[in-house]
Chain A
Amino acid sequence: MNKHKINKTYAEINARIKAGEAVVVTAEEMTKIVRREGRVKAAARVDVVTTGTFSPMCSSGMFFNFGQTTPTIKAAEVWLNNVSSYAGLAAVDAYIGATEPCGDDPLNKVYPGSCRYGGGHVIEDLLNGKKVFLKATAYGTDCYPNHLLEKEITLDDLSSALLCNPRNCYQNYNCAINLSDKTIHTYMGTIKSQGRSANYCSAGELSPLLNDPLYKTIGLGTRIFLGGGIGYVTWQGTQHNPGGARAKNGTPLTPAGTLMVQGDLKQMEPGWLKGVSIQGYGCSLAVGLGIPIPVLNEEMAGYTGVSDAELFTQIIDYAYDYSNRISRNYGEVSYAELKSGSIEVNGRQVPTAPLSSVVKAREIAETLKEWIMKGDFFLQEPVQLLPDGQE
Chain B
Amino acid sequence: MYKKMYLLRFTKDNIDQPLICDLVKKYNLDFNILRADIFMQQDGVMILELSGPRKNVQAGLKYLKKYEVKVETMATVIKRDDEKCFQCGACTGRCSTGALSIKRPEMAVIFDPEKCTGCGLCVPVCPVQAMHISLDKSVRLDYQRIKYNEPAKEEVTVTEIN
B36 at the interface (CB under 8 A from A): no
* B33 located at the interface, meaning its Cβ lies under 8 Å from any Cβ of chain A in the complex: no
The minimal Cβ–Cβ distance linking A277 to chain B, given in whole angstroms, is 6
Chain B interface (Cβ < 8 Å from any Cβ of A): 86-94, 102, 104-109, 124-125, 127-129, 162
Determine the chain B residues whose CB is within 8 A of the CB of A355 once the complex forms: 88-90
Q: Indicate whether A358 reaches chain B with its CB closer than 8 angstroms.
A: yes
Give the 4 A-B residue pairs with the shortest CB-CB distance, closest first. Answer: A353-B93, A358-B107, A276-B127, A359-B87
Which one of B87, B89, B108, B125 contacts A190 once the chains associate, using CB atoms below 8 Å? B125
* CA of A250 to CA of B109, assembled, Å: 31
A277 in contact with B127 given A354-B88, A355-B89, A360-B87 (CB within 8 Å):
yes
- CB within 8 Å of B: which of A295-324? none
Whether a CB of chain B sits under 8 angstroms from the CB of A278 is yes
Known contacts A199-B93, A339-B104: A357-B86 contact under CB 8 Å: yes
B124 touches A114 (CB 8 A): yes
Q: Is the CB of B107 within 8 A of A354?
A: yes
* Interface flag for A237 (CB, 8 Å): no
Given A279-B125, A341-B104, A359-B108, check contact A353 B89 (CB 8 Å).
yes
Known A55-B88, A278-B127, A357-B87; contact A340-B104, beta-carbon cutoff 8 A: yes
A286 CB-CB contact with B under 8 Å: yes
**Among the listed B88, B93, B107, B127, which residue makes an inter-chain contact with A351, where contact means beta carbons less than 8 Å apart?**
B93
Contact with B along A241-280 (1 / 0, CB 8 A): 0000000000000000000000000000000001111110
Q: Complex: how many Å from CA A56 to CA B86? A: 11
In the complex, chain A residues whose CB is within 8 Å of the CB of B106? 358-359
The CA of A45 and the CA of B102, in the complex, are separated in Å by 34
Given contacts A353-B89, A356-B88, contact A279 B124 (CB under 8 A): yes
Q: Does A236 contact B (CB under 8 A)?
A: no
Tell whether, in the assembled complex, residue B127 and residue A354 are in contact, meaning their CB atoms are under 8 Å apart: no
Q: A189-B93, A197-B93, A353-B93 are in contact. Are A274 and B107 (CB under 8 A)?
A: no
Distance between B18 CB and nearest chain A CB, rounded to angstroms: 23
Interface string of A187-201 (1 = CB under 8 A from B): 001111000010100
How far, in whole Å, are A274 and B85 apart by their CA atoms in the complex? 10
A281-294 interface bits toward B, Cβ cutoff 8 Å, 1 = contact, 0 = none: 00010100000000
A341-B102, A341-B104 are known contacts. Are A357 and B89 too (CB-CB below 8 A)?
Answer: yes
A interface, CB within 8 angstroms of B = 54-56, 112, 114, 116, 189-192, 197, 199, 274-279, 284, 286, 339-341, 351-360
Number of A-B pairs whose CB atoms are under 8 Å?
77
For residue A360, which residues in chain B have a CB less than 8 angstroms away from its CB? Answer: 86-87
Chain A residue, CB-CB nearest to B102: A341
Query: How many whole Å from A132's CB to the nearest CB in chain B?
Result: 18
What separation, in Å, do the CA atoms of A284 and B106 have in the docked complex?
Answer: 26
* Cα of A357 to Cα of B87 in the assembled complex, Å: 5
Q: For B93, what are the chain A residues with a Cβ–Cβ distance below 8 Å? A: 189-192, 197, 199, 351-353
- Cα distance A310–B107 in the bound complex, in angstroms: 18
A199 to B109, CA, bound (A): 15
Further contacts, 18 of them, CB under 8 A, given A112-B124, A353-B90: A116-B129, A190-B90, A190-B93, A190-B124, A190-B125, A197-B93, A199-B93, A276-B127, A277-B129, A339-B105, A340-B104, A341-B102, A352-B93, A353-B93, A354-B102, A359-B86, A359-B87, A360-B86
Residue of A nearest to B103 (CB): A359
**CB closest residue in chain B, given A204:** B107
Q: Give Cα A278–Cα B104 distance, bound, in whole angstroms.
A: 25
Q: Are B107 and A339 in contact (CB under 8 A)?
A: yes
Residues of A within 8 A of B128 (CB): 274-277, 286
Nearest to B94 among chain A residues (CB) is A190
Residue of B87, B90, B106, B162 ringed by the most chain A CB atoms within 10 A: B90
Hey, which chain B residues are within 8 Å of A190, CB to CB?
A: 90, 93-94, 124-125
User: How distant is the Cα of A199 from the Cα of B90 in the complex, in angstroms?
Assistant: 8
What are 22 A-B contacts defined by CB distance under 8 Å? A54-B86, A112-B124, A114-B124, A114-B162, A116-B129, A189-B90, A189-B125, A192-B93, A199-B90, A275-B128, A279-B125, A286-B88, A339-B105, A341-B104, A352-B93, A353-B91, A354-B88, A354-B107, A356-B88, A357-B87, A359-B108, A359-B109
* A212 CB → nearest B CB, Å: 22
Nearest residue, chain A, Cβ from B108:
A359
- Cα separation A277 to B92 with both chains bound (whole Å): 17
Write out the residue numbers on chain B whose beta carbons fall within 8 Å of the beta carbon of A357: 86-89
Q: How far is the CA of A352 from the CA of B106 in the complex (A)?
A: 16
Q: Are A354 and B90 in contact (CB under 8 A)?
A: yes
Contacts of A339 in B (CB 8 A): 104-105, 107
Q: Which B residues are CB-close (under 8 A) to A358? A: 87, 89, 106-107
Q: How far is the CA of A148 from the CA of B25 in the complex (A)?
A: 54
Residue of A54, A55, A191, A277 with highest tally of chain B CB at under 10 A: A277
